[in-house]
Amino acid sequence: MKSSKIATKILSFISLLLMGVMLKSCQADNLIYNNQDDLFSPKFVLAAPLVKSNSIALVWYKINDAESYTVELHTDNYYKSLYKSYTVTDTQVFMDDIPYKTQFYIRVRANHADAAHNSQWAYTSALTEPRPPFAEILNKVEKINITENSVKVSWKIDAQNPVDSISVEPAINKDIPAIGRYLTAEEKLTGEATLTGLEKNTLYNLNVFDNNKPRRYDKPYNQVSFRTAGPSAETIIVTADMDLDALLRKNNSDPAIPEGTEYFLEAGSLFKVTPFEILKGFKLTGGTQGEKPQIELNGAWNIAQGSVISSISFENIRFYQTIDASYFFNSGNSWTVGEISIYNCVFNYFKRGFWRHQGSGKYKEIGSFEMSYTTLDQVGGHSGPYGTFVCGSAGADNIKSAVFSNCTFMRDYYGTTDKNRNFKNLFDYGTSAYPIHLEYQNITIYDYAYNRSLINIPAAVGSTLIFKNVLLASACGKVIQAIAANTTTTYGNNYTTTDYLLGASAIQGTELGISAQDLFVNPTQGNLMIKDANSPIVTNRVGDTRWLP
């Protein structure tokens, strides 16, 4: 027993010696961690910030030895999009007159006299309330009023809602200067103004203002967007005998080829392309002097990991697939795209889905997605279909605006009689909490999404849904599967045929009382022209207007 105690004491002594040597070594290498000098992370007094209108109040407990506190307001949960930063000496901050209906991600840090000992960040978030009702007097900008460097705009003259100034701001490229000025007396009288000095082929956001209002975000009326005319950074003419696939692949990785290059495809041509990971934006435009150019895709487009792209555009092209489990776009990477535009295109034989995001936590951001005068026909038919738009990045999808106008979605169980092999939705935003502006106007839906819900926005609090002038001639399920709190919904001038079994009340619509077979000329063969020129679909201009006589 005695020898055992002696052995224990010897081992303890050796341990102390070793610790002393290690400590000395650390001191020599200046690796001592002075724990007492570092500030603790701030702790919030309330479980969530206080929100009133477009203001946020935040309170935290005092930290001894903190000289000040830094509060950062970001618009993304990766804290890479700083909106505003505050430095305060008190333990509270009032962030006043900030954008309405915006999800802000907030972090707070205590600052030490020696910045090396600043605290860790404390994190929280808040959603400002929707803007109170205001007059939407600004008119949509017509293409005829747009040139390469100017735009003519108009607004409704209303004595109760005066306008005294106007501005345009680039929607994507913040290096391009914004342009704004006060209106002349004549412009105020006529409700029209022209702005010059714009950059060609640039997407702008347009606002008119009443500067007599005291608060910044109450001054503007409704905002509209437009793109100035002019060619892309470079235009390449692609004739029918050229290898479009090889050309696109080569230029995708060639630093000498500028972002936004336009490929002008000869009318009536046919190309075969195996899609790849896109590194920079481009535009595929089909000639109009003949049949749409056709592109057979053997696979789905993707965007390379970490890419930041201004715009991707497809215009006047028929795309189709020849493989089974096919999509037009399918990505599991993280990336940012300012603008995606699809105009006057036809998509056939995409059997598993059209546009799919995947990859848990892989952040994807789209500033503006626009699809117009476009048809999806004879799609679906796969045994495991996804849908038209599926955002499945486990909450990491941030689509700020998605607008669909004058589009037709039809016949989505291609090559089979099993209607359950159809596309599952029009738009499924998954678990994303980023607010989205989602708009469907002048849409025709026939024999599509059988027994499936069309719209799903379950978690994106404070979103906007506009569903107007829609003709629903299909045995779909619920129009809305789920919609998040504080989402603004607008319905108007919607109609259903007897094919939609749930009735028109869910979309505040009107039941026509006739079937798709009676309404359209020959729907089973893909002809959705309206038979009766006196139908309310014609007189009220409902659905895809290309089908109106």
- DSSP E strands in 431-545: the ranges are 437-446, 455-457, 464-473, 480-483, 488-492, 495-496, 510-511, 520-522, 527-530
The full set of domain ranges for the chain reads 43-127, 143-227, 235-547
Whether 235-547 and 143-227 are alike in CATH topology: the answer is: no
Q: Are 331 and 304 in contact (CB under 8 A)?
A: no
Query: Which superfamily is assigned to 143-227 in CATH?
Result: Immunoglobulins (2.60.40.10)
Q: How many residues does the chain have?
A: 549
- DSSP E strands in 474-546: the ranges are 480-483, 488-492, 495-496, 510-511, 520-522, 527-530
DSSP result, 173-203: -TTSPPEEEEPPHHHHHHTEEEEE-PPTT-E
Residue 38 one-letter amino acid: D
Q: Determine the 3-state secondary structure of 204 from DSSP.
A: strand
Distance CA 519, CA 1 (A): 102
- As a whole number of Å, the end-to-end CA separation of the chain is 107
What architecture does CATH give domain 235-547?
3 Solenoid (2.160)
Which uninterrupted H or E stretch holds 370? strand 364-377
- CATH hierarchy code of domain 43-127: 2.60.40.10
Q: Are 381 and 413 in contact (CB under 8 A)?
A: yes
Q: Are 65 and 57 in contact (CB under 8 A)?
A: no
Strand partners, 264: 237, 285
Q: Which residues 6+ apart lie within 8 Å of 364 measured at CB?
A: 331, 333, 334, 335, 336, 357, 391, 393, 396, 397, 398
Q: What are the pLDDT tens digits along the chain (549 aa)?
A: 434 443 343 334 334 333 443 333 344 333 334 445 678 899 999 999 999 999 999 999 999 999 999 999 998 888 988 999 999 999 999 999 999 999 999 999 999 999 999 999 999 999 999 999 999 999 989 878 999 899 999 999 999 999 999 999 998 777 899 999 999 999 999 999 999 999 988 889 999 999 999 999 999 999 998 888 876 668 899 999 999 999 999 999 999 998 889 999 999 999 999 999 999 999 999 998 899 999 999 999 999 999 999 999 999 999 999 888 889 999 999 999 999 999 999 999 999 999 999 999 999 999 999 999 999 999 999 988 888 999 999 999 999 999 999 999 999 999 999 999 999 899 999 999 999 999 999 999 999 999 999 999 999 999 999 999 999 999 999 999 999 999 999 999 999 999 999 989 888 999 999 999 999 999 999 999 999 999 999 999 999 999 999
- The tokens describing 329, both together, are 């776009």
